[in-house]
């Protein structure tokens, strides 16, 4: 891979999918649905059409299951998963070998925006619930909203937030220029989840 215009936008490894996160992804994915406890790899790139070649190499070379293969106007993204941590790590190695890149070449993520909204009004809760594919937001709860760029890193933030506290996962979207996460729960739990999500994103090193 020698194209100087190529960009490895995101390389995200999830060591163990949490219950709500796995259930949410399984409900929205067009590919193989993951289950709790699986390891996962998300890779985002530009130009997006490189996704087809890379995921073809990955699924032929390793024992992983493809959950997503998305190509949009600007970027491409794929996800693979397995109960075997070793297979997912190997899938990552194959990906980097095929692209001629290293982890140091990935884009370092940034938190574009973050809000904690306490004591959510019942009318706002009902509006948000119309767009939620996860747990419903209940009036009076505290809500966490995070936007991350590149988008695929929001998956790491969501999974680590769920590890950290007993919060409710409402919505995750990881395609496009920004990834978005909505969570709800008690204020103390939301703050703990927020801190874990932020720490996971800030720990990623790259360009």
Q: Is 154 exposed, middle or buried (0-12, 13-18, 19+ CB in 10 A)?
A: buried
Q: What is the CA radius of gyration of the chain?
A: 17
Mean pLDDT by 10 residues, the chain (207 residues): 79 98 95 97 95 96 96 92 98 97 97 97 96 93 98 98 98 95 98 98 95
**For 110-202, CATH number?**
3.30.70.1710
> What was the pLDDT predicted at 2?
53
> What was the pLDDT predicted at 131?
87
Q: Is 130 exposed, middle or buried (0-12, 13-18, 19+ CB in 10 A)?
A: exposed
pTM over 0.75: yes
Domains 7-105 and 110-202 share a fold: yes
Domain ranges of the chain: 7-105, 110-202
- Three-state secondary structure call for residue 1: coil
Take residue 118 and report the two structure tokens written for it: 């306490």
> What was the pLDDT predicted at 110?
97
CATH architecture entry for 7-105: 2-Layer Sandwich (3.30)
Q: Which DSSP letter does residue 130 get?
A: T
């Amino acid at each position: 891979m020698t194209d100087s215009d190529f960009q490895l936008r995101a390389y995200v490894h999830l060591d163990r999918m949490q219950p709500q996160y796995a259930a949410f992804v399984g409900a929205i994915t067009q590919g193989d649905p993951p289950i709790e406890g699986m390891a996962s790899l998300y890779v985002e790139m530009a130009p997006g059409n490189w996704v087809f070649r890379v995921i073809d190499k990955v699924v032929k070379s390793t024992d992983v299951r493809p959950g997503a293969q998305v190509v949009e106007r600007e970027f491409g993204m794929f996800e693979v998963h397995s109960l075997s941590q070793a297979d997912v790590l190997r899938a990552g190695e194959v990906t980097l070998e095929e692209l001629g890149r290293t982890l140091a070449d990935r884009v370092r993520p940034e938190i574009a925006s973050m809000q904690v909204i306490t004591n959510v009004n019942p009318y706002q809760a009902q509006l948000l619930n119309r767009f939620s594919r996860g747990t419903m937001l209940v009036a009076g709860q505290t809500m966490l909203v995070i936007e991350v760029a590149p988008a695929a890193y929001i998956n790491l933030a969501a999974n680590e937030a769920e590890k950290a506290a007993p919060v409710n996962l409402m919505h995750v979207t990881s395609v496009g220029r920004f990834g978005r996460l909505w969570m709800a729960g008690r204020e103390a739990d939301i703050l703990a989840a927020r801190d874990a999500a932020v720490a996971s994103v800030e720990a990623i090193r790259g360009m």
